[in-house]
Amino acid sequence: MNNLFNLFYTIALWSYTISAFFTHAIIYSLTKYFVKNKREWSFILTKPFISLSFSLFACPLTINGLENIQQDKNFIIASNHQSILDIFIHFKGLTKPISFFAKQELTKIPILGWNIKEQGHFIVDRKRPKKAVKQLAEVKAHLISGYSAIFFPEGTRSLDDSVGPFKRGAFLLAAQTGTTIIPAYIHGSNHVIHKTRHLSMPSKLSVTYGKPIPVERAKTKIEEKEIAEKLLKKVRDEMLSLSGGRA
């Protein structure tokens, strides 16, 4: 019986998601010529669809520590990664556009790929590692220009509530640009859309933001690596603490 419910739930969830992307694309295409900041306008249009989806599909979201984010300044959110829902969970509480990394394959999906490019997110081509250097330079310029970004230091989705090993990229960029890092822990999204499970199910969701970690901009390559290593350890410790013992 549960599997039958989950099947209908999954069909409804993805039907809504596809229709939401289509509707967003139509509204944005018709109105983007009348606004000054197209990126911000696209982000604003996204938010009602996110709120409606959490309500329709019985996934109440609790946001803790939102006061730790100074939304008039730029920052890096360093978050654990459980599900493709995680991006939308972060979008829900933020008031300004924020960029994230999207796999190259996603840009080939109609509407979704176009939307990713229109909102100025970073495209990652894992099959061409040499291109990563250029991509990191683009992200660095993005942060220096005063924009914010979401990083998932684990580099992949976890199968449970645990926090996997971190990669250094986000922390090197923080050291190079002097961008404040805000640690975050998401819980529950892997119950809704799991990495390896085909069927979805409703679940309570939560995201907790920790205290901002100020970062001093490195002056040398040696200093850059030292700062990045310290940040990696500190952010990981903070994330584990925010998990409340789940990770």
**Is residue 11 a part of any domain in this protein?**
yes
Rg, the chain, Cα only: 18
Mean pLDDT of 83-88: 95
Tell me the pLDDT of the chain averaged across its residues.
92
Residue 207: which CATH number?
3.40.1130
CA separation for the pair 26, 242 (Å, rounded): 39
- Per-residue confidence band for 40, with pLDDT thresholds at 50, 70 and 90: very high
Task: Specify the range with the lowest mean pLDDT, choosing from 4-13, 133-142, 168-177, 221-230.
Answer: 133-142
CB-count exposure of residue 211 (10 Å: 0-12, 13-18, 19+): exposed
**Is residue 177 a part of any domain in this protein?**
yes
pLDDT of residue 132: 66
**Is residue 224 a part of any domain in this protein?**
yes
- Asked whether the beta carbons of 217 and 178 are under 8 A apart, the reply is yes
**Is residue 247 a part of any domain in this protein?**
no
Select from 161, 162, 133, 136 the least CA-distant residue to 151. Answer: 136
**Is residue 203 a part of any domain in this protein?**
yes
pLDDT of residue 102: 81
* pLDDT tens digits, 178-217: 999 999 999 999 999 999 999 999 999 999 999 999 999 9
* pLDDT tens digits, 127-169: 776 666 677 788 899 899 999 999 999 988 998 989 999 999 9
Domains identified in the chain, total number: 1
Q: Is the pTM of this model over 0.85?
A: yes
Beta-bridged to residue 87, according to DSSP, are none
- Per-residue confidence band for 1, with pLDDT thresholds at 50, 70 and 90: low
**Is residue 102 a part of any domain in this protein?**
yes
The domain containing residue 123 runs over which residues?
2-242
H or E, element range at 239: helix 221-242
**Is residue 118 a part of any domain in this protein?**
yes
Q: Which regions of the chain does DSSP assign to beta strands (E)?
A: 61-64, 76-79, 101-103, 122-124, 149-151, 181-187, 205-209
Ramachandran assignment for 98, one of left (phi > 0), alpha (psi -120 to 50 degrees), beta (any other): beta
Strand pairing of 101-103 and 181-187? unpaired
**Is residue 26 a part of any domain in this protein?**
yes
Is a pLDDT exceeding 70 seen at residue 104? yes
